[in-house]
Every structure is written in structure tokens, then in C-alpha cells.
Amino acid sequence: MSAVTQGQAAPRSSIFNDPKFRSTAIQVLLVLAIGWFAWRIVHNTQINLHNRNISSGFQFLWSTAGFGVNQALISYSETSSYGRALLVGLLNTLLVAGVGILFATLLGFTLGIMRLSRNWLVAKVAEIYVEIVRNIPLLLQIFVWYATVLKPLPAPARAPQIGLPWPGGGFIIMAAVLGGGAWLLRGLYQRTQSVVMRVVATLLLFFAAWTAIGVVREFGLSTINFVPLGIFLSNRGIMFPRPIFGESMWIELAALVVGIVLALGVARWARRRQEQTGQQFPTLWVSLGLILGLPLIVFLTAGAGATFEFPELKGFNFRGGMTLIPEFLALVIALSTYTASFIAEIVRAGIQAVSHGQTEAAHALGVRPGVTLRLVVIPQAMRVIIPPLASQYLNLTKNSSLAVAIGYPDLVAMGGTVLNQTGQAIEIIAIWMVVYLSLSLMTSAFMNWFNSRMRLVER
């Protein structure tokens, strides 16, 4: 009793003005509203599914799919299960995303560095590329690559064969003309500042090369021969030889692994030695020699580890070998060229974000421009580049779902087919969401780890 009277003695404001009470009340209301909403959805769905005679659950994953697929990384036939069909789709998604990310990174970094080039033409070409490609919808670009570039390629019967360029008989003459011309040009650029002289001399070099090609041809010599590789370009895709691994393949693989391990060891030793003594060691060349040289020695002594099965034209299509279907090619080309335009901007912004004083300081210390870029500018730029780069990789992975528009059997396309056949909409969409969400989370987790390794460590 006395406690109550004591409590009443102090003037108390309304309970609604108590922040704790308010925040609790709002949260309880929110949870109740979401719970009610979710319950309504579940309830309606149950009624609707019941009315449509669809049984929910994942049992359908084990029943026979009954449809074929034009690209599968694991063995798959029409008698395989729906679950296996979805797995094929997932692997195809991962393949196209991985290859796309590789090419997008290479092209994007090239374009980003081109945009910063001293050469106005080079910078402008990269800028125009970026402005055109990133402002056109990706789906339209996929259609363009698929329908107007890859599909009009010749049929297999008339498919051109791709060859490995190999120096021909006239190559030495060409090399002499170009090398001598370049040497003369260099001398001229050092002697004169006159723009007219420089332009005329550069054009003369091209004219000399042009004439040299004509002269070489006149003598029946070719500058470049093409060694046929058994790679064919047709409207059914790119056909290329399939390696069949023999027994000595294992020794070669082992040699490769040993080479890589040795190279890593050498790199560690070289770094430690440089930190202690300041002496540099040609790590790159030694590593290359170890990684490439060891397998080469094994190859020369133990013989070829793999034989190739070449694609052969039989009837209307090629038999044997391996095929990259045009859907895959269109998707990879469109995804990587499109994403590269965004990566180029990220790379440019990252390099520009490094204060110019860093470059000036390096130059003042007498560090050469190339080394400055490699050891001073790029490591600092990478810190700015990596986070947005990670989100571009994620975008590319998500955009690979546009495969469904041209019939590349990725996860969404396969899921769509399964959905149409079974009507299991909720399960399929749940699988899509779980897969893409976990891909996103894994990529961002990896990138966060990488980012924390690259981060500036301050005292």
C-alpha cells in the first residue's frame, strides 16, 4: 500500500510518452501485423492449392522429368529426375556466371585503364564503348548477340575452321620491316617535336608495312599461316576437340602441382630475402619456368598425356568433340561486355581516387612510372575498387537468369520448365530464391573477407 502512495506522489507522465513502452508497443504491433499477413497468405494459398488439386511438398523432385536439355555438365537424360534437371540448371548457371565474371573482369580492367590513357583516341574509344553499352538493356544485347550475330553463322556443312596463327615464310621480312620502321620512328620522335613530321612518319610506317605485305605476297610467301585446330564456328555453336586423358596425364598433372608448390616456395623465400637484404629475385620468370617447364619436361619424356577427339562433319551436324552452344556464347558475350562497361567505370574511379600526391611522391623518389602504377597506385585503388566490383559480380550472376529468354538451360529456365510441367510454383520459386540468395551471401562473404585483407591497416 505504502509503495503505491509513494509512486503516486511523484507526478508521472502518460505511459504513451515512455520511450520503452512505445518502442515495445510498436514492435509488438509490427510483429502481429506481419504474422497476420503471413497467416492470411498461407491460409489463402492452402485453399487455392486445394481448389487446384496441387499437393505441396518436394516429392516431385524425384519423379521423371521427361524433357531433354541442350547442355549438361553432368550426365542427364530424359529419364532423369526433376531434381537432377534443376541441378543441371544450377551447374549451368554457375558455369556461365564464372566464365562471364572472368571475361568481364579482363575486359573491364582493360577498358578502365584505357579510359585513363594519355592517348586521347584510346580514352575516347573506351568512353564511347562504356556510354553505349551500359545504356542499352542487357536483354536487348543478349538478343542481338544471339539472333543477329551467332544464329546467322554458316551451317555446319560450311562452317569455317579456326586456326592457330603461325609465322609464315614472309614473316621474317615483315618483322624486319616493322622492327626497323619502329626503330626509325622512335629516333625521329626523339629528334623532332614537329607534329606534322611525326604524323607523316607514323603514316609512312603503316604504308611501308602495307607495301611489304603486298611485296611478300607477290613472291608467293605468306606472312601468317593458320594451322587448323579442329575448331569450327557454326550456327550450332563452336565445336572443338575433346581431350581424352591417358595414363601419363597423371604424371603431368603431378608435375604441374609440384611446379606450383615449388613456385610458391620460391616466392616466399624471395620475399623474405628482399625484406632482409633488399635484393630482388626474378620470381616471376622462375615461377613461370617451374610451372610450365616441369610439365613440359615430363611431356617430352613420358609422351602426350592426352589425345584429342576431333569434331567431324557427319550429315547435317558435327559428331564427336565438344560443343559450346550458341545460347551459352551469346549469354557469356553479352553478360561480360555489359558488365565490363560498369567495371570500367569502377576501375577508373578507383584509380582516380588515389591522390595524385602518391604518384608525385613515388616519382620524386625516382620510382619509374610502370612500377609506380603497380606498387603504389593499384594497391591503393584496389581498396576502392573491390566493394563495388563485388556487387557487379553479384549483378552478373543474377543477370545470368536472363538465359531463359534465349533458351540456355540455366536454373531459371530449367525451373520454369519444371514449373510448367508440375505446377509446383511455390517450391520452384523457393528453390530459385534460396539458391540465388545463398550465391549472393557467399559472394559477399568472400568479398568481405578479401576486402578485410586488402584494407588499409592504420595504427
Partner 1 sequence: MSTLSPSVAWVRDEEAPRLPPPPNMTGIAGWIGANMFPNWYNGVLSVLFLLFIAMVVGNLIDWALLKAVFVADDRTACVASPEGACWAYVRAKFAQWIYGFYPIDQRWRVNLAFLLGIGGLIPMLIPRIPYKRETVLYLLFIFPIATLILLTGGHFQFSAASWISVLVSLLIFAAIMLALSFGAGLLARGAALRIVGIVAAVVIAIMIILSVDFGLNPVETSQWGGLLVTLVVAITGIVASLPLGILLALGRRSDMPAVRVFSVVFIEVWRGVPLITVLFMASVMLPLFLPAGVNFDKLLRCLIGVALFSSAYMAEVVRGGLQAIPKGQYEAANALGLTYWQSMGLIILPQALKIVIPGIVNNFISLFKDTTLVSIIGLFDLLGIVQSGFQDPKWASPQTGASGYFAAAVLFWMFCFLMSRYSMFMERRLTTTHRR
Q: Is 441 in the site for partner 1 (CB under 8 A)?
A: yes
Q: Which is nearer to partner 1, 115 or 263 (CB)?
A: 115
CA distances (Å), 384 to each of 123, 142, 289, 350, 447, in order?
21, 30, 34, 5, 13
Residue 249 lies near partner 1 (rule: CB under 8 A) = no
Residue 262 CA: distances (Å) to CA of 130, 277, 287 = 42, 22, 8
Identify which range of 100-108, 287-295, 374-382, 418-426 contacts partner 1 by CB under 8 A.
418-426
Using rule CB under 8 A, residue 292 touches partner 1: no
Among 102, 106, 139, 257, binds partner 1 (CB under 8 A): 139
81 DSSP assignment: B
Beta carbon nearer to partner 1, 136 or 261: 136
Which of 404, 421, 447, 451 is close enough to bind partner 1 by CB under 8 A?
404
- Residue 196 found at the interface with partner 1 (CB under 8 A): yes
CB closer to partner 1, 213 vs 267: 213
Q: What burial class does residue 137 get, using C-beta atoms within 10 Å of its C-beta: 0-12 exposed, 13-18 middle, 19+ buried?
A: exposed
The upper half-sphere exposure of residue 455, i.e. CA atoms within 13 Å in the direction of its Cβ, equals 11
Non-local (6+) Cβ contacts of 318 within 8 A are 156, 159, 232, 234, 236, 239, 311, 312
Instruction: Decide: residue 393, CB within 10 A, 0-12 exposed, 13-18 middle, 19+ buried.
Output: buried
Q: How far is the CB of 121 from partner 1 (least distance, A)?
A: 4
361 binds partner 1 (CB under 8 A): no
Q: Is 225 within 8 Å of 172 (Cβ atoms)?
A: no
Stretch that binds partner 1, among 115-123, 167-175, 242-250, 379-387 (CB under 8 A): 115-123
Q: Look at residues 254, 245, 240 and name the one whose alpha carbon lies nearest to residue 306.
A: 245
**For 89, how many CA atoms within 13 A lie in the half-sphere containing its CB?**
30
* 16, 219, 285, 316: which one binds partner 1 (CB under 8 A): 16
Q: Which is nearer to partner 1, 20 or 459 (CB)?
A: 20
Q: Which amino acid is at 215?
A: V
Would you count residue 202 as binding partner 1 (CB under 8 A)?
A: yes
Quote the least distance from Cβ 426 to partner 1, whole Å.
6
Nearest to residue 312, comparing CAs of 172, 169, 161, 178? 161
- Residues of this chain that interact with partner 1 (CB under 8 A) are 14, 16-17, 23, 26-27, 30-31, 34, 41, 44-45, 47-49, 51, 118-122, 125, 131-132, 135-140, 143-144, 147-148, 152, 182, 185-186, 188-189, 193-196, 198-199, 201-203, 205-206, 356, 398-399, 401-402, 404-405, 412, 416, 419, 425-426, 429, 432-433, 436-437, 440-441
